[in-house]
Structure 1
Amino acid sequence: MPYIFNHLKSLNAPSFYQLYQPIQKAMIGMPPLEARGHRPLKMTFEDQLKALIFFHLEEHTSAQHLLQVLEEDAFARNIIAPEEGIKKSSFAEAINTRGLEQLTHIYQNLQTEAVSILPKEHDKLGDLIGIDGSLIDACLSMHWAGYRKGAKKAKVHLGFDLIRSIPRKIFLTDGKGAERPFVSMILSPGQTGVLDRGYQAHDLFDRWQEENKYFVCRIKASTKKTCIEDKEINPDSNIFYDAIVLLGTP
Structure 2
Amino acid sequence: MDSQKQIVIDKKAYAIDSTTISLFQPIFECVGRNPSNGKRKGGVKSHQKLDLQAGIPVKVYHSHAKEHGSLFIQNENVVHKNEIAVFDKAYNNCALFDKWCEQDIFFVTRLKDYAKKRFIEEKDLLENTPD
TM-score, L = length of structure 1 = 0.39
Determine the structure 2 residue equivalent to 1:213: 105
Q: 2:49 aligns with which of 138, 154, 159?
A: 159
Determine the structure 2 residue equivalent to 1:61: none
Determine the structure 1 residue equivalent to 2:83: 191
Q: What fraction of aligned residue pairs are identical, expressed as a percent?
A: 25
How far is the alpha carbon of 1:228 from its aligned partner? 2.0
Max radius of gyration: which structure?
A: 1
Give a deviation string over 1:33-53, Cα, whole Å, max 9, x none: xxxxxxxxxxxxxxxxxxxxx
Determine the structure 2 residue equivalent to 1:124: 8
Letter in 1 for 2:105: K
How far is the alpha carbon of 1:195 from its aligned partner? 0.8
Runs of 4+ in 1 over 6 A off after TM superposition: none
Letter in 2 for 1:124: V
2 CA distance for matches of 1:204 and 1:186? 13
Determine the structure 1 residue equivalent to 2:92: 200
Matches within 5 A, 1:60-79: none
Aligned length, in residue pairs: 114
Structure number with the higher strand fraction is: 2
Alignment of 1:231 onto 2:123: yes
How far is the alpha carbon of 1:188 from its aligned partner? 2.2
Structure 1, unmatched stretches of 5+, are: 1-121, 240-250
What is the aligned-residue RMSD (CA, Å)? 2.9
How far is the alpha carbon of 1:151 from its aligned partner? 4.5
Larger RCO of the pair (alpha carbons < 8 Å, separation 6+) = 2
How far is the alpha carbon of 1:211 from its aligned partner? 2.9
Letter in 1 for 2:96: L
How far is the alpha carbon of 1:237 from its aligned partner? 5.1
